[in-house]
Amino acid sequence: MKRAAVTGGAGFIGSAVVREGLAAGWSVTVLDDLSTGYRQNLPDEPRLRLIEGDIRDRAAVDAALEGAEAVFHLAASVGNVRSIENPGRDSEVNVLGTLEVLEGMRRRGVRRLVVSSSAAIFGEPRRLPIDEDHPVEPDSPYGVSKLAAEKHCLCYGRLHGWQVAALRYFNVYGTNQRYDAYGNVIPIFAARLLKGEPLVIYGDGEQTRDFVNVEDVARSNWRALESGVSGRFNVGSGTATTINRLAALIQACSGRAVAMRHEPARRGEVRHSVADPAAIRERLGYPPGVDLKDGLARYLAWMALDPLSAAGGTAS
């Protein structure tokens, strides 16, 4: 039976990648330190093995890669604000941790890699929508570290003749995404909405984001692996949504109305962002299938029942 290793596989996006792989008939080994991931995110499945460990730990990486035919590398320190507050840890995990994974692959003879990158590598866009050839000028240490990690992965692919696909996620949301004050706007809005608290928007709310459902992101990971192609691919919906529009839409989906509060814009965050998904659609046959309104309704229903979801927070 084919086996894949998923770093960060107990996390929000990683657990969706794990479920997709199990459904496709693969066995999966998850490497996760459970700092932001949860055992509860993973199904009770005999083909799934969890190794609790850090990607910076060589022994843990080697154990996770044993018998693997492919690696999905999702483990990371995530968030612009968090990286500004602690840039050293951000680079230690995202850059040095990635190098440990790559060296582990080299030692174990694994030649297929799908690495999770980020739209944060682009910085403030010079043109919209953002295609794969858009200049990369990140505005935060997080964006810098993700760009370095992506380049290391693609470099190793060229050096060693590996299949390496770097997927640049835009704003991912969906099941298993819990409230984090540093995190995505959707879980922060949802947590506050469910408590009846005001939705806090940084800036005027006319900044735009490209929201893509985690189910579509998980499918894009497996399509990237199975396609046999290497390269860089933007993973988004191709639709720009303002934060003001999102606030109205999430309230409509929940059937609840709360107050709105604006605060000053935050450092390190771009004004507008939307993906051009043409390359991944043409080369991988990836069509985003989850409409934002439907995805929000499903997410709110899940979050209302999830005992691990904390409430409160602000968003941008």
Domains delineated in the chain:
3-172+213-235 (3.40.50.720), 174-209+239-276+290-305 (3.90.25.10)
**pLDDT computed for residue 81 by the predictor:** 80
- Name the phi and psi angles at 212, rounded to 5: -130, 135
- Cβ distance 58 to 105 under 8 Å? no
Q: Which of 38, 142, 169, 202 is catalytic?
A: 142
Q: Coil, strand or helix: which one is 48?
A: strand
Consecutive 10-residue averages of pLDDT for the chain (316 residues): 97 98 98 96 97 98 98 94 90 98 98 97 96 96 97 98 98 93 87 95 97 97 96 97 98 96 88 96 89 97 82 42
Rounded distance between C-alpha atoms, residue 274 and residue 64, angstroms: 35
Q: Give me 299's structure tokens.
A: 């997410």
**pLDDT computed for residue 190 by the predictor:** 95
- Quote the pTM value: 0.94
**CA distances to 1, 170, 194, 229, 266 from 203, in Å:** 51, 20, 23, 40, 8
| 142 has catalytic annotation | yes
**CA distances to 163, 196, 249 from 68, in Å:** 14, 46, 42
**pLDDT computed for residue 261 by the predictor:** 96
